[in-house]
Amino acid sequence: MTSQISRRGFLKTAAVSSATLAMPRIALAADGFVNVYTGSDSNISDFWTNVILPGFRNVNGDAKVRVVDAGDGAGLRAIADRAMAALGTSNDPQVDVFEAYTPDQTTGSIEAGLWINFAAADMEGWDKVNPAAKQTDFDLPYRGSQVLLAYDATRVSPEDAPKTWDEMTAWIHANPGQFVYNRPDKGGSGGNFVRRAIHEANGRDPQKFTLDNYSEAYANDTLPGAWGLLKALAPSLYEAGAYTSGNTQSIQLLAQGVVTMTPVWSDQVLQALSMGVLPETTGLVQLQDLALCGGFSRITVPTNATHKDVAMQLANYVLSEEVQSKIITELGGFPGVSWDYVDTALREKYKDVIPASIPTFPGGDWDAAINDGWYRNVAPGISRG
């Protein structure tokens, strides 16, 4: 009999302990925190925690905001799926703000009404947003960053640094093994380099590519030219056609003196310079015939967020002159608002460095087509001995 009791006791203990395990989840949902999920690198989550949130306390002293690192885009997609699943039910999606997310990453979410329409939300900041950065009414571009070419200035003098695509191609062929870019799906620096090749193959007209004009036929029409350009570069790249697996790895090869030139994110390279990862003799150059693409990180707010009002307040605050100026000074990024809404002194100081517009490339279906197309057409290249 004792055995029976002990078995029952065991089950009881098991039940209690599993209930305790489930508790934190329940507690998390009701703890009153506004959850900001980010898929960006740690410099961005640090910026939110150390710059944006302390400043936000002056706007709304009562709000408790928590920044959660979702890891990457796929992590954010999983959280967005949860919000999508909770839509139309009374369940708490446990997320109030997405950082670096676009609505098209969750299929059918716009149609289902998952995202707040910023244009219709009577939001004071929406009119300040740089029109060139706007993609849909459901995402709020709040910081931008462009891809530049970084080079070792001890080996290439600034006058000789390439300023057009053709000069760059000539330089790469004249210096075999000294250029590397990363796989387009593993980081935006290589990704936007590949997109610049697509622009090059299509008359350098960024207008030719929009979020809505993707079709398989149109992609088959526009992309193969770029594959040809990139394939022709391959034999003169590092290791006759090797591609690093991320933004950081490209910077690492530049820092180790293995390559002389590589595409980099502006904010990441400025940080690498200030931290001493890259020497001060690192030069930066942007192509003048058409800049390498940049990108904007976007905020989205789900309509079923528990703290929707605070989330909108926060989104508005992020577009304030205060935060937008700090995006330039502390993050090495570009403002999401038009330059008229940035501190005048800063505008003067950066006016030569920062182009009036950054060409962008739409995401959506183009992403998969470009990335997979690159893997199938460019990456295999010629066989390397």
Interaction of residue 257 with other proteins, rule CB under 8 A: yes
Give me the least distance between CB of 373 and other proteins, in Å please. Answer: 10
Candidate list 242, 277, 284, 290; residue touching other proteins; CB under 8 A: 242
Interaction residues for other proteins, span 357-376 (CB under 8 A): 367-368, 371-372, 375-376
Q: Which amino acid is at 232?
A: A
Nearest to other proteins of 149, 369 (CB atom): 369
CB of residue 229 vs other proteins: minimum separation in angstroms?
17
Q: Of the two residues 127 and 239, which places its CB atom closer to other proteins in the complex?
A: 239
| Residue in 70, 24, 29 with CA at minimum distance from that of residue 48 | 70
Amino acid at 87: L
Among 27, 44, 62, which residue's Cα sits nearest to residue 101?
A: 44
- Residue span binding other proteins (CB under 8 A) among the ranges 79-87, 249-257, 300-308, 337-345: 249-257
Residues 6+ apart with CB under 8 A from 76: 37, 38, 39, 70, 98, 100, 101, 105
What are the helix and strand counts (H, E) for the chain?
13, 8
Q: Interface with other proteins includes 224 (CB under 8 A)?
A: no
Dihedral sign from CA coordinates of 302, 307, 309, 313:
negative
Asked whether position 289 contacts other proteins by CB under 8 A, the answer is: no
Tally of CB atoms within 10 A around 1: 5
The Cα 298–Cα 134 span in angstroms is 9
Angle at 244 between CA 216 and CA 48, to 5 degrees: 85
Residue 380 lies near other proteins (rule: CB under 8 A): yes
Residue 58 Cβ vs other proteins, minimum distance, rounded to whole Å = 39
Q: Taking CB under 8 A as the rule, does residue 18 contact other proteins? A: no
145-181 per-residue burial string, b: 16 or more CB within 10 A, e: under 16: bbbbbbbbbeebeeeebbeebebbbebbeeeebbbbb
Binding segment for other proteins (CB under 8 A), chosen from 1-9, 56-64, 123-131, 138-146, is: 1-9
Assess 12 for contact with other proteins (CB under 8 A).
Answer: no
- Interface pick for other proteins out of 47, 243, 341, 366 (rule CB under 8 A): 243
In whole angstroms, the minimum distance from the beta carbon of 330 to other proteins comes to 27
71 binds other proteins (CB under 8 A): no
Provide the mask over 73-92, with x wherever binding to other proteins is found by CB under 8 A and - wherever it is not.
xx--x---------------
Query: Which of 117, 252 has the CB closer to other proteins?
Result: 252
Cα separations (Å) of 2 from 6, 17, 22?
6, 22, 30
Residues 6+ away with beta carbon under 8 Å from 127: none
Task: Examine residue 30 and tell whether it contacts other proteins (CB under 8 A).
Answer: no
Among 166, 239, 289, 309, binds other proteins (CB under 8 A): 239
DSSP string, 167-184: HHHHHHHHSTT-B--B-T
Binding residue count for other proteins, defined by CB under 8 A: 31
Nearest to 291 by CA among 323, 261, 263, 332: 263
Residue from 81, 185, 321, 343 binding other proteins (CB under 8 A): 185
Binding site for other proteins (CB under 8 A): 1-3, 6-7, 73-74, 77, 183, 185, 239, 242-245, 249, 252-253, 256-258, 367-368, 371-372, 375-376, 379-381, 384
